[in-house]
Amino acid sequence: MKNIALLASGSGSNAENIIRYFRKDTRVHFPFIISNKPGAYVHERAKKLNIPSFFYKKECFENGEVLTFLLENKIDFIVLAGFLLKIPLDIVRAYPDKIINIHPALLPKFGGKGMYGAHVHEAVVAGKETESGVTIHYVNENYDEGRIIFQAKCKVLPTDTPEEVAAKVHELEYRYFPEVIGRVCLDIGKIPFRSARNDGDITATTSAPNTAPDKASKKNR
């Protein structure tokens, strides 16, 4: 069984979606959720899901307290589900290629410090982009620069508002993030899948074929 720590700073909708996706999968366990915000709604979601949640302020990430907590609880992987703090170097080094993040744009575009949530979608619309999407990637010492695992795209129409782009991107997040987590954490790369898929206005592609989702991985839904 893989112990996966979820980190979230806000509402926690992605965290809840991930937990529900794996609810009946005995190979995966989510022992707790960590947040850097004491009033984040993710704590309420955790209560409803009967999962402990913990608040750690920024200093606790920087002084090694959070890393100690992760190691003491034998965490195998860390998933950032809308977590806004930069992961300290000691945690990155302790979990090489074991920290997974989702970014609401097609990296390397619209990444870096300050590019999160509505800021990203506003920049996409302002830049008159014709497509956007999600990027699932490993975390390294720099914002949004870790190795890309998977990307899924959606069209951006000239008439789209940032809110409409956000809705399309959220659909991709909910659809693909749990599947890719399963691929990476459970190491089921030997199951064949298509490296590109077209679903109406949505295109999914991967730069790491052995860690992308396939219809065969949807059995946990």
- Centre a 10 Å sphere on the Cβ of residue 186 and count the other Cβ atoms it contains: 15
Helix (H, G, I), strand (E, B) or coil at 202: strand
Instruction: Report yes or no: 179 and 219 within 8 Å, Cβ to Cβ.
Output: no
Instruction: Report yes or no: 172 and 132 within 8 Å, Cβ to Cβ.
Output: no
Cis bond upstream, residue 88 (ω within 30): no
Sign of CA dihedral 80, 160, 196, 198: positive
Residue 80 is encoded by which pair of tokens?
A: 């950032």
One of 103, 121, 137, 170 is an active-site residue; which one?
103
- Centre a 10 Å sphere on the Cβ of residue 143 and count the other Cβ atoms it contains: 17
Verify whether residue 121 is a known catalytic residue: no
Catalytic center residues: 103
